[in-house]
């Protein structure tokens, strides 16, 4: 009886093992191969227009030559189509970059944009050498440049704007603005000020001290206080000349 039961268990186990191996193989996602030298775009979803693609290549070539930072753009139809239905776009992008073992510079200093068109998902993945210090700038590129175009259904334009953001990041320039009046402060300036939250209260406090001091001196009849106040007001009212 025991031998019969043991034989049955061995048969069941031998049948289950291939099923587990097949299931594990099916669950492995597929990643686009590393881009060949001189190529920067793998448009598997076919969403990038010809003109935008040419501009992406121009920006990527110049940035790589002048700074050494490689740009890569990968579009896929969906995560499920790549066998990664249980993945988030963040996990897929991170593992995609790690899978490109042939080019160490891409994995360490690369700037990768992954777009899953049907999933309406996108991810910026920076190489390991960037660390976490540039995560905020990457989020600004996504939120200020890429997503506004995506929400209008303009995937190609949004991807191009993202590469322009990469170009600004690599050159340590202010991020380009998209449809924003020139008089409005840029998002990167506002967020940088948020990091130095103490500056605004400090300026307000100093201003109040100066005003209270002037008022106090004026009330005491100090003539030079009137002159100083008039000079400050004249400086504020003077028109700005120049570009």
pLDDT tens for 116-132 read: 999 999 999 999 999 88
pLDDT score, position 103: 83
pLDDT category, 205, cuts 50, 70, 90? Answer: low
Q: What is the mean predicted confidence (pLDDT) over 168-195?
A: 63
Q: What is the mean predicted confidence (pLDDT) over 86-91?
A: 97
pLDDT score, position 170: 95
pLDDT score, position 17: 46
pLDDT tens-digit profile of 214-238?
566 556 655 655 566 665 555 554 4
pLDDT score, position 196: 46
* Least confident window among 91-105, 108-122, 221-235: 221-235
What ranges do the domains of the chain cover? 41-181, 199-237
Q: Give the CA count within 13 Å in the CB-facing half-sphere of 235.
A: 6
Number of residues that make up the chain: 243
pTM of the model: 0.67
pLDDT category, 53, cuts 50, 70, 90? Answer: very high
pLDDT score, position 5: 53
The SS3 of residue 126 is strand
Q: What is the mean predicted confidence (pLDDT) over 95-115?
A: 93
Domain 41-181 has CATH 3.10.310.50: yes
Q: Work out the burial of residue 230: count CB atoms within 10 Å of its CB; fewer than 13 is exposed, 13-18 middle, 19 or more buried.
A: exposed
How far is Cα 66 from Cα 60, in angstroms, rounded to an integer? 10
Q: What is the mean predicted confidence (pLDDT) over 82-110?
A: 94
How far is Cα 122 from Cα 151, in angstroms, rounded to an integer? 12
pLDDT score, position 102: 81
Q: Give the CA count within 13 Å in the CB-facing half-sphere of 73.
A: 30
pLDDT category, 207, cuts 50, 70, 90? Answer: low
The average confidence (pLDDT) of the chain is 78
Residue 96 CB partners (closer than 8 Å, separation 6+): 31, 32, 74, 112, 114, 125
């Amino acid at each position: 009886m025991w031998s019969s039961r043991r034989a049955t268990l061995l048969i069941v186990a031998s049948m289950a093992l291939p099923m587990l191996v097949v299931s594990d193989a099916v669950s492995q996602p597929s990643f686009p191969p590393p881009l060949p030298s001189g190529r920067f775009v793998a448009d598997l979803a076919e969403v990038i227009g010809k003109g935008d693609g040419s501009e992406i290549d121009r920006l990527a070539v110049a940035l790589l030559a002048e700074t050494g930072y490689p740009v890569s753009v990968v579009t896929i139809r969906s995560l499920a189509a790549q066998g990664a239905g249980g993945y988030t776009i963040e996990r897929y992008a991170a593992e995609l970059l790690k899978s490109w073992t042939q080019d160490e510079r891409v994995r360490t200093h690369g700037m990768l944009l992954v777009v899953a068109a049907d999933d309406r998902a996108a991810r910026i993945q920076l190489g390991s050498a960037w660390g976490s210090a540039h995560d905020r700038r990457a989020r600004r590129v996504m939120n200020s440049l890429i997503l506004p175009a995506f929400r209008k259904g303009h995937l190609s334009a949004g991807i191009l704007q993202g590469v322009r953001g990469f170009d600004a990041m690599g050159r340590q320039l202010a991020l380009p603005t998209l449809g924003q009046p020139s008089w409005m402060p840029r998002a990167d300036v506002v967020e940088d000020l948020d990091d130095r939250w103490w500056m605004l209260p400090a300026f307000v406090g100093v201003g109040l001290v100066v005003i209270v001091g002037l008022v106090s001196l004026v009330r005491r009849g100090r003539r030079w206080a009137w002159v100083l106040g008039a000079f400050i007001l004249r400086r504020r009212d003077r028109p700005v000349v120049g570009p």
